[in-house]
Amino acid sequence: MTETIRIIGIDPGLRRTGWGIIETLGNSLRFLASGTVTSDGDMDLASRLCQLHDGLAEVVHAYRPDEAAVEQTFVNKDAVATLKLGQARGIAMLVPARAGLPVSEYAPNAVKKSVIGVGHGEKQQIHMMLKILMPKATFTGNDAADALAIAICHAHHRGGQRMRAVLAG
């Protein structure tokens, strides 16, 4: 029996954390909503993390997803920036986990491959494919678009994850 699953995709960032909500039924995808939670760059780090937490918690509460997917971080040359991104990513994983959702993680290349067919691509390619896959999708900016792409990636991979879990258990 096939059931509708509501997925939240989260693209973590300290300034802007993108989110996108889709529903999947079998192979079909349906856009529900997307947006960005922002933090005030003039505030201290702890306050900014609280802003991200509270904003993301509001989204999870409002849309009641069944599952969550978060993009894995990449390590760049700026260790301080990587650490701060990791903290924002912790919030992006904590909020859905505290709401009782299973949280999956995907590498950026896996997300791109799921949406545009190759592991490396431009933001415009992702935007174009989002419009093809979900013509009613609306998103403002790259963060919300990336979050939708993460949700789509999870929709494509979730069946395989469940099967692996059953076989391993």
| Angle at the Cα of 65 from the Cα atoms of 61 and 69, rounded to 5 degrees | 115
Please pick, among 23, 54, 71, 105, the residue that the annotation labels catalytic.
Answer: 71
Q: Which pair of tokens denotes residue 94?
A: 């904590």
User: 40-47: which pairs have CB atoms within 8 A and are 24 or more residues apart?
Assistant: 41/15, 45/84, 45/87
CB-neighbour burial class of residue 117 (10 A; exposed 0-12, middle 13-18, buried 19+): exposed
CB-neighbour burial class of residue 87 (10 A; exposed 0-12, middle 13-18, buried 19+): middle
143 in catalytic set: yes
CB-neighbour burial class of residue 60 (10 A; exposed 0-12, middle 13-18, buried 19+): buried
| Catalytic positions | 11, 71, 143
